[in-house]
Structure 1
Amino acid sequence: MKIVLVTGASKSIGYEVVKALLQSDESYHVFLGSRSLERGQQAVSTLRNECADSFGPRDKGCALKECPDCFNTVEAIQVDIASDLSIEKAFETVKASVGRIDVLINNAGVIKDLDCVRGKASLRESFTGSYDVNVAGTHVMTWTFMPLLLQSCDPRLIFVTGLVTFEESAREDFPLWPLERGWPKKVELETVGYRCTKTALNMLMLDYHHKLQMDGVKVWCVGPGFLATDVA
């Protein structure tokens, strides 16, 4: 059974990743990471209903050590990647429970650009806020959990980035058509800070790839495409 930890998994892309793992023919125990433990537990409850056929007869939401014969299992774990303390607590929880992870999927992220558009934050606050979570938070999460990942005989590290390559961004209509002359521009759906962080994650992925080559860790970035989610 492979052990997988998915951050930001109580909704949207992360939730669907967990759902796909639970419905897979492979056997997984999934740690569903969520900033709020309550929302994480609610997501787990919903998944048990949606994926009922994927669980073994003994699965009642128990932890892996308590239910070794279950085909697939899932449990919520509180982890806020904006908090070093939260990351450390999650690390200790997983270490005590299973002692390793086979796959770390860095999915958690936020979009702070709209806070500036709506007057809730300054331009600097919204921009650095996105970087603090999406880039620094992901880096700290990965760095902290690396000892557990290296305990796996087949370690995998995945970063959810996106369609933010320079080629894509060079399109005339990406992310929106040219605006009228004048300054400041009126952009109701601003995402430049978010897109910059996703580009930065590509570099972070490459750095981990170089550092971990001799450790046998397979490292990827994944672009899920343009999707309707409630990321905020």
Structure 2
Amino acid sequence: MSEQTTSRRGRLRAQTSGEIKAIALELMADGGPDAISLRAIARRMGMTAGAIYSYYATRDDLVTTLIGDVYTALVRAAEDARDAVPADDPGGRILAWAQTVREWALANPEGFRLIYGDPVPGYRAPADGPAREAEHRACTGLTGLVAAAWPEAESLQPGLRRYTWEDFDPGLVAHLRERFPELRPAAVALTLRVWGRMHGLVALEIYGHLHTLTREPAAVYRDEMVDLIGSLGLAPPV
């Protein structure tokens, strides 16, 4: 078999795999996460069940690949936006990350829902793989943004619980302490709170709860992020 034939088959396989994933997200958009089905995708594509199983042995394999793809795409976009802002502007980097998350979510609502919204019934995520790597990248990126505001941010949060490392997932703790050896448990808790504020309004918008209440969801979101940045003791972006 020639290299050209092998390469052509590889391209065709990648193209078909991409179509399978695109249709899976379409099915989810139409019928929720429970609508993702290899047989339904095969019917939509005019494939036999046996043929589609040669790409993904189970529905969970497909869902795992989908989550890894969309999560990685989201984190990469957020990282690129953050890195386009100078390191000496931590508030601007936070705003760039946050606004990119919102813009990505609006452009990829099914992907956002797959990562942060409705669980796929019966799906059990593997302990490692691209999705977990993307999750760790997201946590690392957000923790780095909080670390840039530390310890000033801590001094602005009096009276909070005294966290210990035992309060968090051991895998996450090991990952973050390797990257940020001086990090304190309270900074991880603050990172989770920052994450919640970034994603809260986005989730409300993606699930249709804001469009009847405001014509300016982007302005509301930016104001929330500016307030968040100020709460960390950082100068708000211009």
Q: TM-score under structure 1 normalisation? A: 0.28
Q: Choose 1 or 2 for highest CA Rg.
A: 2
Task: Give the helix-richer structure, 1 or 2.
Answer: 2
Task: Give the strand-richer structure, 1 or 2.
Answer: 1
